[in-house]
Amino acid sequence: MQPMSKSDLQIGDILIFENFDFSLDKFFKTWEKEGAEKAAFYLLVYLIPWFDPGKEGQNYRNIYHAAIWGHVDINFGKNTFPKVMDCVVQAGSHGIGAATLESTLNADSVAKLYVYRRKGDLDTETINKAISDFYYDGSIKYSYSTAWMLAVICSMRYKDGEIRKVILDKIPNRFIAESVIVAITLLINEYSEGHQKDMIACSTLVAMCLKNAGYPIHVEPLTESPELILDDQLMASSVQPEIQLLGSVPEIKRTPIEETIITPRQLFESPDVELVGCFSRSN
């Protein structure tokens, strides 16, 4: 994979974060020293990738976070002089903030930083305006409920997803069950149209910025889980046989997800983006 330098980055580049392996010891130490909320947030950044292994299968990586490269005042909201610069714009537990590339790569949770770019000719000024509209609105808070919802939605993407199995168990008719899943997706997408500020999580922020700038990220949900091998003490997943019903079943048209129901993996799996390089802690 092509190593990058800071000068290679362009406004609107999608930054995908890979974390180190989950540490049960760190989880309990965080709980003991910083409380249950901090421990839950540490767990959350692993639950989303665990629930959404994407198309990687046995090549699974702890993809947990996404950000966008923007040009904003990195000191916004601080009692100091403005400092407008190219930087990492991201949604986290403290809301929407910005960080230098150097400090990002030195973070304890960053093993690698992959850079994806929206295909086509992009108007970077328009993209940066969309980024700024979110960034400079100090009222926007991080939505934990949206982050957890993403994990739940991910479980409906796969034939062997737990939520999907629950729905199929409660609604044996496959056509109706699939229709319920599509209806849930449509309702959330419809709600998000007028409530973007209430649905801020890391990857939804990236998707919203690009969508508002006129460059939506199209995502096709997976219909089958790849085989996934993780630490057997934590999680193991394999493809389950699809539930078969008597008679023919009408095909359900999947809802294109290009609004808020999007995870970091869905961002870089989109046919609308391409991998242009990566950074690692050794840079």
Residue the block writes with tokens 């989880």: 27
DSSP 44: H
The answer to whether residues 114 and 15 touch, using CB atoms and an 8 Å cutoff, is yes
What is the pLDDT at residue 41? 78
What percent of the chain stands above pLDDT 90?
32
Tell me what the mean pLDDT of segment 105-111 comes to: 90
Tell me what the mean pLDDT of segment 68-94 comes to: 91
Task: Give Cβ neighbours of residue 162 (< 8 Å, ≥ 6 apart).
Answer: 155
What is the pLDDT at residue 157? 61
Q: What is the pLDDT of residues 156-203, one digit of tens each?
A: 666 656 666 777 777 777 777 767 766 666 666 665 566 556 566 788
What is the pLDDT at residue 204? 82
What is the pLDDT at residue 50? 73
| Model pTM score | 0.73
What is the pLDDT at residue 153? 65
Domain parsing of the chain, residue ranges:
10-222+248-280
The answer on pLDDT for 120 being more than 90 is yes
What is the pLDDT at residue 225? 58
Alpha-carbon span 282 to 254, nearest angstrom:
42
Averaged pLDDT score across all residues of the chain = 76
What is the pLDDT at residue 235? 34
| DSSP-derived 3-state class of residue 244 | coil
Alpha-carbon span 51 to 264, nearest angstrom:
12
Classify domain 10-222+248-280 at the CATH topology level: endopeptidase fold (from Nostoc punctiforme) (3.90.1720)
Task: Give Cβ neighbours of residue 166 (< 8 Å, ≥ 6 apart).
Answer: none
CA-nearest of 184, 255, 194 to 221 is 255
The answer on pLDDT for 137 being more than 90 is no
Alpha-carbon span 117 to 276, nearest angstrom:
7
At 150, which amino acid appears? L
CA-nearest of 123, 117, 94 to 202 is 94
CA-nearest of 39, 57, 47, 35 to 234 is 47
Question: Could you tell me the sign of the dihedral formed by the alpha carbons of 9, 131, 270, 146, in that order?
Answer: positive
Decide which of 220 and 116 is more confident. Answer: 116
At residue 58 the predicted structure's pLDDT band, cuts being 50, 70 and 90, is low
Per-residue b/e over 137-175, b at no fewer than 16 CB within 10 Å?
Answer: eeebebbeebbebbbebbbbbbbbbebbbebbeeeeebe
